[in-house]
Structure 1
């Protein structure tokens, strides 16, 4: 009997010191001290510019700030930190001293900061299949985010794209649910690590749910999948994310069977929170409160609102009125605030709310860029290699054609430095041409627009692709400027040299598979390079044979524009559509 009592006593002591139980007790204690206004403040997220003026963090009890497209916080990393320290100190000066969550869309590295390490977009990570490197990329992103003042990132995107017309295909890892699950696990582990450590950040699984499966690939459109299809194809990565302890989930812009996801209680509360056991924060996307039902989204299970572009007072006053009139229960408010406070305690913000200035030296450091360059090498997918076109002999005379060959902005895509990306070089990056010049032992001619007739070259390296885009700007439909095929100019780059009999190697820079059936036939070799980010010279190393091709297609590749007709095309789960290249295809030397 004494032995049993001893075990019981030891178990009780263990529970008292269990970190999760300690955090819950702190959360309950703090919640009990809060006014309704303070609770609503914790549910509020604003930009550090435009949405607030000095002192608003104190008077409106703001719980979170974000940096997005707009004025930079400072001239350098210490300046960025200083801006967020200023806001953090305002939060700490309030009656209860609750620190801020400070978020950023760091979706392929800390991509808002010039000079940071920019990784291949997720579609390239999916092509690499290298789980260890993907985890390391997330760890680097966390360090460089913390080094610029952030403790929360809105990454990873774990959507399953149905349709290459969707403008966010490159933000997702793959069309394959299983591969996306594996990538989700390592990405969240890399971002969050031991959360109280100053080199980790809160991660966000997004967008919940169906954002990549909208009819005709329209960003924010309607998703008409059945509950069974959602459960089998779209929910598994979220189950992995929740099991991994992901700190937040962002709601999606799309509707599901014509109901806005932000207001979908059956999926947000009943499925994500109750059935799956998610204990973190459910966050809106941009202006989610005013766009999708106001207090209805709170009742559906939204915990924090991006109160941006004029939504701050609308949200705070509207929610207070909703509580006072009984439309929103105080229990729902308390649940939301507990979720926010829980993550702040998990991050250790109450003990260490300010960023670590010693991390600044790690931004864009050689070890970080080494990881990014290896991911570039392993993400490249060799689609064709005939006539001994590859690897290129380092003594070969090469003519390089195309603006994408010497432009780090074009090679990196959207969400790079600015929201819609850059069309010029940015600090710290290398281009494909940089790499070629570094590796070559012979003459390299750069004919940016393909206007020359350098037919005496041994090899014509033609670099073509898409212009940068993000979100709905990248959708392919009657209202946007993007196409499913290469531009006429880029097709001409290829034809000029292929028709002249010059050995022609094509590198495609794109955020999604494009219809390239004819250019593929013209070229001797063809590489899908996706959006490689800041380490473009890694591509040259593979072209010269210093490294072999490792990448495998994360998406099936369409054969023709006709494959895209209909609501879901190209949907390669449908056996009626035959791809040009199947999922998983990729050649080696």
Structure 2
């Protein structure tokens, strides 16, 4: 075992690990294969400028217009004619995709382009596409197969519109929900993030690395979910133990699942910006994990090394450092290619490094089949985007993502034949349920919560909608009028939360509009409901009318008053295109809620960070508040009752043996429903402090009334390992405790 230190973080490296050179063993294709020979032959024919052109990505000319950027069309045309562009991002139209490919085909070597897009929850940046719940909602499903199928749908819709590269999955751990991008994550738990992230990689890329559906991209490497002050791009300062046991495992799982691109993070890790971290981008990613793909910068992340982080004295110096650290592609635009050509000719960057980076990109393009099929039939998109089959998968995801937080006196489900239902709230009848990274969608494609309710109830039921105004636009008059309307209603359904949409009512990009309080660049110092939403719900509750609150939001919101005073609360997160239908189906009992929280909901921002897998020493109480979250990780109620029994755990296991555990789950209620079975493990005594519990398995099972099922888990012995005081990853002998559904058992792990 060889121990080395890079940039202040100790790394344990096996002496037998691969080197960082891009030999055949590090490519997508096997050495000597036809595809590998073609890639090598193409590299031999390319000039230095053409190779560096493959390393440079530009923004789509049409999208640039929405950003009020200078007209790139003429400049891009010249670069394409010279073969000096390798990629574009945010090409959202098949016609534009074909036109750009045609221009690239006329260059000397005619190398095809690769188009990337933020397909974080379906192909949401494209009008008319299928939009799934945002990842935080997908995580609430705890359904690995469903997440994989969502990736397959996304890949299908991407290819028919001419796109090939999804900037997804996001494998950041959401450890500070003040961070506006919390909705893009799979939550707070590394096991969940690793499991669902790997599933999404498989769904996007398919089972064969040499014949990809689309290219997945693991982001953001590393750690932006715990930024200083909860602010986007803020630094993280954590120990090597935290990196190795919490933040790195999801990315390693994504690499093991076959992901062939990784995006560097804006932030620095322990003082070293990720874009110049040779330690992360080369030593960990390639030498330790054997990553075979290419690394792309985040949007102008290389430029920020000079302008924001101040670790580079110039743009040219920033490029040198990033490329030598392991960044293979620049996002985006001018100011990259020319300085890099100069750096190579000056000897500051070796020509081998350019061959390495360009070769990695070319291999992925070949695996995508772009050399044979660069164009798409633009007419096909209309029949594929949001097709009935794709909407069906999105509806399944929305149904399974909804979490029932509270249901006092079984207020839910509601009867469909109530005389009058009041629906109100700023998120009742708008597109907030679509989440961030979503283009304006055809109105007929989207089912809002109000529309879902109206379609669910009996013809005789009056659904009265009172629009209280947008967030920050509420007035005393609208609040009072809404409360008056609630007095003679059988029930009031109040849809609250946040709105992450980037576009205004005219469809113009406006990320800074006042109503947008979540999403990228929308970090918050407070987690209470914005505007006068609390005044609205208080006024309705005070009328005595039974009240249901539906939350549509991308991050946990601190709602202690609602949790104490509103009898029924649904957390819908951002449920996507058909989310309003799914919410209504849960409200009226067509679907029993089965989502579980993938992230803890704090009582106040003062509790942060709050996550379930803390050490015991973190449980000292505040003088003014409980240390426990308002609703913890894994919380979620049902319309039926599940009973756990007969937990079986082996008495002991030996080194290398998997741990086999089973439990019987019975539906003791009168409704068929899904149950998410969560298995937690605790290392009772260890050489270093350990979490009070850590998730090591989950399964979703469907049970009819009275049905029982034996649910089995296999825990790999290696998953019990700890990074000990010598920073060695070992399974220490001793007692481990397992808990499932309130039942507990334990076993002894032996050294031999």
TM-score of the superposed pair, with normalisation by structure 1: 0.89
- How many Å separate the matches in 1 of 2:591 and 2:551? 19
For structure 1, which segment, 571-580 or 226-235, has the greater mean C-alpha deviation from structure 2 after superposition? 571-580
For structure 1, which segment, 90-99 or 547-556, has the greater mean C-alpha deviation from structure 2 after superposition? 90-99
Partner of 1:582: 632
Structure with the greater alpha carbon radius of gyration = 2
Partner of 1:42: 54
1:180 maps to which of 183, 186, 193: 193
Q: Which has the higher helix share?
A: 1
For structure 1, which segment, 351-360 or 480-489, has the greater mean C-alpha deviation from structure 2 after superposition? 480-489
Q: Alpha carbons of 1:227 and 1:198: their partners in 2 closer, same or farther (altered >3 Å)?
A: closer
For structure 1, which segment, 147-156 or 335-344, has the greater mean C-alpha deviation from structure 2 after superposition? 147-156
| Cα displacement (A) at 1:572 | 4.4
Partner of 1:456: 488
Partner of 2:120: 107
- How many Å separate the matches in 2 of 1:426 and 1:62? 37
Q: Do 1:476 and 1:482's aligned partners in 2 also have CA atoms closer than 8 Å? A: no
Q: Which has the higher strand share?
A: 2
Q: Do 2:412 and 2:568's aligned partners in 1 also have CA atoms closer than 8 Å? A: yes
1:550 maps to which of 589, 594, 602: 594
Partner of 2:532: 489
2:297 maps to which of 255, 270, 284: 284
- How many Å separate the matches in 2 of 1:555 and 1:540? 24
Q: Alpha carbons of 1:263 and 1:557: their partners in 2 closer, same or farther (altered >3 Å)?
A: same
Stretches of structure 1 that go unaligned for 5 or more consecutive residues are 1-16, 74-79
Q: Do 2:188 and 2:611's aligned partners in 1 also have CA atoms closer than 8 Å? A: no
- How many Å separate the matches in 2 of 1:324 and 1:477? 39
SS of 1:406's equivalent in the other structure is coil
1:121 maps to which of 131, 134, 148: 134
2:88 maps to which of 65, 90, 103: 65
Q: Do 2:434 and 2:575's aligned partners in 1 also have CA atoms closer than 8 Å? A: yes
| Cα displacement (A) at 1:20 | 8.4
- How many Å separate the matches in 1 of 2:56 and 2:467? 48
SS of 2:589's equivalent in the other structure is coil
Q: Do 2:428 and 2:450's aligned partners in 1 also have CA atoms closer than 8 Å? A: yes
Partner of 1:517: 560
1:330 partnered with 2:354: no
Partner of 2:154: 141
- How many Å separate the matches in 1 of 2:191 and 2:521? 33
Q: Do 1:432 and 1:537's aligned partners in 2 also have CA atoms closer than 8 Å? A: yes
Q: Do 1:195 and 1:202's aligned partners in 2 also have CA atoms closer than 8 Å? A: no
SS of 2:375's equivalent in the other structure is coil
| Cα displacement (A) at 1:469 | 5.8
- How many Å separate the matches in 2 of 1:112 and 1:209? 25
- How many Å separate the matches in 1 of 2:519 and 2:449? 27
| Cα displacement (A) at 1:428 | 1.1
Q: Do 1:284 and 1:306's aligned partners in 2 also have CA atoms closer than 8 Å? A: yes
- How many Å separate the matches in 2 of 1:132 and 1:59? 44
Partner of 2:659: none
Partner of 1:297: 322
- How many Å separate the matches in 1 of 2:348 and 2:521? 41
Q: Do 1:196 and 1:348's aligned partners in 2 also have CA atoms closer than 8 Å? A: no
SS of 2:218's equivalent in the other structure is strand
Q: Alpha carbons of 1:90 and 1:476: their partners in 2 closer, same or farther (altered >3 Å)?
A: closer
1:23 partnered with 2:30: no
Matches within 5 A, 1:64-463: 64-67=87-90, 80-194=93-207, 200-292=213-305, 293-308=318-333, 312=334, 314-357=335-378, 358-396=380-418, 397-407=420-430, 409-417=431-439, 426=443, 428-441=445-458, 442-449=461-468, 450=479, 451-452=481-482, 453-454=484-485, 455-463=487-495
| Cα displacement (A) at 1:58 | 2.0
SS of 2:58's equivalent in the other structure is strand
| Cα displacement (A) at 1:474 | 5.3
The one of the two structures with greater contact order (alpha-carbon pairs below 8 A, sep at least 6) is 1
For structure 1, which segment, 468-477 or 286-295, has the greater mean C-alpha deviation from structure 2 after superposition? 468-477
- How many Å separate the matches in 1 of 2:411 and 2:456? 17
| Cα displacement (A) at 1:81 | 1.2
